[in-house]
Structure 1
Amino acid sequence: MKPTSNKALPCAVFGHNYVKSKTNSDHTAELTCCHCNHIATTDIEGNFRDETLTNTHLQTTLRKLYHLKLRAYKPSFG
């Protein structure tokens, strides 16, 4: 059993309290829990998909690498 923090305790007892945070153009929605900031998305049929921590960590890492690559290849005049 995973240890729960005080912030996520209501989610462990009662379940997540999702609030729609973003609506995409392909009729999917991104939902965020107002207590623990857990992110879930819905597909076109309305089914929930949980976004894992590794996906968000991977996305931020790839974004940082992309920006580092842009900085490295920027020509300097001077």
Structure 2
Amino acid sequence: MKPTSNKALPCAVFGHNFVKSKTNSDQTAELTCSICGTKVNTDEHGNFDEMSVSNKDIQSTLRQLFHLNLQISKPKFS
């Protein structure tokens, strides 16, 4: 991975310092680098899978749709 800013330079030289940020229901984990903020997912076997920009966009859109669906499906009493 090539660094895109000075903030990512230590990661390019020494490697990322990943911290577990989220555990998914399918026993996979989301890891975030504490220095540059790079996010990766682990699969069932523990292999790293870097999250691409399109994957982040898809996830944020699905999250927004989920929250809209929750707002619409709640019965409103007046």
Match of 2:53 in 1: 53
Q: Relative to 1, partners in 2 of residues 1:35 and 1:25: Cα closer, same or farther, differing over 3 Å?
A: same
Match of 1:13 in 2: 13
Calculate the TM-score normalised by the size of structure 1: 0.69
Calculate the TM-score normalised by the size of structure 2: 0.69
Alignment-mate amino acid for residue 57 of structure 2: H
1:8 is paired with a residue whose SS is helix
Q: 2:60, 2:51 → 1: CA distance?
A: 14
Runs of 4+ in 1 over 2 A off after TM superposition: 57-68
Match of 2:38 in 1: 38
Unaligned 5+ segments in structure 2 are 69-78
Structure index of larger Rg: 1
Kindly report the root-mean-square deviation, in angstroms, between the aligned alpha carbons of the 2 structures.
Answer: 2.8
Match of 1:29 in 2: 29
Question: What is the aligned residue count?
Answer: 77
Contact 2:3 2:9 in 1 (8 A): no
Unaligned 5+ segments in structure 1 are 69-78
